[in-house]
Structure 1
């Protein structure tokens, strides 16, 4: 039976996967696309200031990357969600292979081996893995009835799918991204219906293992934790970044010092102002109003992902949208908490705003998949006994 929809949605549902690309085009969430353009515009202005008014330093490359990512996103919006579900596990396998390749032949920078060269591009596969993991888990849990969520044997393969990339990312080493990957996996398990007491056992085990894990951390990782607890203990060393960030945040006041007038940023007191600490620069130059406006735009992106999850009529789309929303939320939460001194400093950019290629392309790839879930929210998946796209 066809559900009640508008004329366009009824036609798409009746024709299934065979409707043309031009017919799908109006169904793309264009207001969401405009929201992403607004956020990229905020990033362009902030990076223009970070470059001393020169677009060549950071802003022009930011615009080019966003333009490429936007084309990628719109293209993925038009791909049938059932085709995407079919390719979920192959995408996971390829991305896991890239993580192994990083450990074997990756570029080393700042003591970490996280990137590989693909022609003119420098790729960070750990960012791609977060998207691939969401796809794989959404595909695994898509057909699972509620009763199977209590079967440990059924949960072992997806748990292994989370543990493998975490272990590979930890070897780089990249503790922050490994933890975020684990949190994304936990969110997917919870959304699929895994009982809460299983998470309680996992958290208890993590708390028990924390002292042992702390002893195995690298020196710079332990220094980040010590600095988080007491930044003033080393104000000119490990605590310098967060102290300067707090000064910049507070000095912006309500309305800020004005475009390119931030002293902390332009006198080079603020470290990594174009990447990890870009939000601090926005707060200094545009004040509390500018900071809250930026957070408001980021919150709308998360809200759209959650709304898409609620509107999807199939489990794959619901889980995919929720996982992608959680991934974006963690980007934002970790970056903002980091620059405000709420958590230890780590290398997590502010999506669509910070300077960086891998994060931009990965985020736009995720938005393309989210757009496909929105456009095909009423798609009907074949059952496991039927032949079809799956």
Structure 2
């Protein structure tokens, strides 16, 4: 009887081991996504590439999320080639996100691989095409991989003759605080101040501040996503945390109203005065138009209107080519803004001259109260 009991126990153990082994061998079966994978971004008509702007953002490639019906992260591989058949290619990124920033420098490398140059003394062309596609996959590259690949996206690139136009990165100042659109968030599409076209230490802003008894006010940041350096007040003088070795106090705001704010960071002087903006026009749309823009002189590229302040307009990752541009309201020429001389920031005039564009990718801000604009060169992350 004892032997029978031992044999029964051994049989149960064998069954348990077999069940465990079968569980360990269980795998999910990946299935292709019936919707496939496709690029969501629309490329510019052509990308003007200059070595001086190598760190600037050329294009952020965006694609849809792919569902392989398995509980495992999906990897995305952005590929670039100088050949439409992708007989050879470079992998620009292997990530789990559904977007990837490509710099002017990376585009230039592809253009040079394609035999393009900007030397007028050679027979090589300075305009041509490069190609992109994105591959989604699960599994190890060595085997057991299920993958899908997008259609090929053709991109036109131009290497202009060098004219000396260089995008200079300058100090920016961004509003932060509970009196501002961003609140106390250092990376919430914070509205910038508008730098003077001739004096890099002088900044302006005319617009709404949400003041009140329970409001702390606002400060200024030099870099989105970073609290240092920050600008504020110390004993009535505008100063930065770098000069104080600690954080300055906030600028206080008495009322929820429109103010004119000017600050000179070189000497710490500033002015902050309430203004009456009730008679100022409010526009349904403001756009950028010109032969330097994606739609040329045929159509505007509309900007986004601030929900906090209807007189502030902005757009991100905007690509300028060689040429000129203006701002105009309501998709018509009744109200437009231009300037006699090109500037990274400055004050436009109603009906003024076309503004000369320096090729590159920018975040653009416009204030229809005083006509000031700001072009912030975008550097890929």
For Structure 1 versus Structure 2, the TM-score category normalised by the shorter chain is: under 0.3
Structure with greater strand percent? 2
Structure with greater helix percent? 1
Q: Which protein, 1 or 2, shows the higher relative CO under an 8 Å CA cutoff with sep ≥ 6?
A: 1
> TM-score when scaled to structure 1?
0.23
> TM-score when scaled to structure 2?
0.23
